[in-house]
Amino acid sequence: MALRGCWRFAAVVPRLVRNSSAPCRTLVSAGRSSGSIFASTQQGCTSAELRPRGFSSEPASSDVSYGQLKRLLAAGAAVVIDVREPWELREYGFIPGAVNVPLGQVSTALQLGPEEFREKYGSEMPQQTDNIVFTCLAGIRSKTALDTATSLGYKDVQHFPGGWQDWVKQGEHK
């Protein structure tokens, strides 16, 4: 029943905005930006005056810089999960301290029991409240892993968009 009410409201808001005789308005949500909320261009409005915002369950900034990742690793303040395939780690190298969980196994791995996770991946299973940083070769697979972990209820997840390529470029590969 409540869902029907939401759908009705969603259908009414665009008409209210479009039919408003008030000057240009910017609709702003209290949420973070990923989806979008309704905004309508009214006569005389510039694009700078329209700033649609959205809702998301992701943190405001899910990217971790090279420097931040180094500090997190040094402090042991994050679980770093490399989502590349094992052959990629053998061929190219890996970030010391990272746990290898290939992207295709992330969803299943994050739903295992702690003992089973430790047995399969050789590390403690991250808790849903732990800071988890995903990494890969260039930041594409790690973003997918971040989205997967978020959908499973993990709260403090981030990714290193530069991935292994940035790690090597910054001179950490020996």
pLDDT at 146: 96
pLDDT at 9: 42
Helix (H, G, I), strand (E, B) or coil at 157: strand
Give the pair of three-digit tokens for residue 120: 């399969």
Asked if 32 and 102 sit in the same domain, the reply is: no
Catalytic residue flag (residue 136): yes
> Looking at the 3D structure of the chain, how many domains does it have?
2
97 vs 19: which has the higher pLDDT? 97
Q: CA-CA-CA-CA torsion for 108, 157, 140, 107, nearest 10 degrees?
A: 10
| pTM exceeds cut of 0.85 | no
Could you give the angle at the alpha carbon of 57 between the alpha carbons of 133 and 130, nearest 5°?
35
4 vs 14: which has the higher pLDDT? 4
Among all chains, which residue has been given the structure tokens 């259908």? 11
Residue 42 CA to its chain's centroid (Å): 34
pLDDT digits (tens, 9 = 90+) for 125-152: 999 999 999 999 999 999 999 999 999 9
- Residue numbers of the domain that contains 19: 2-49
Task: Check 6, 24, 45, 136 and give the catalytic one.
Answer: 136
Task: Determine the average pLDDT of the residues in 107-120.
Answer: 96
Asked if 44 and 71 sit in the same domain, the reply is: no
pLDDT digits (tens, 9 = 90+) for 47-93: 333 333 344 454 456 899 999 999 999 999 999 999 999 999 999 99
Asked if 71 and 33 sit in the same domain, the reply is: no
pLDDT at 96: 92
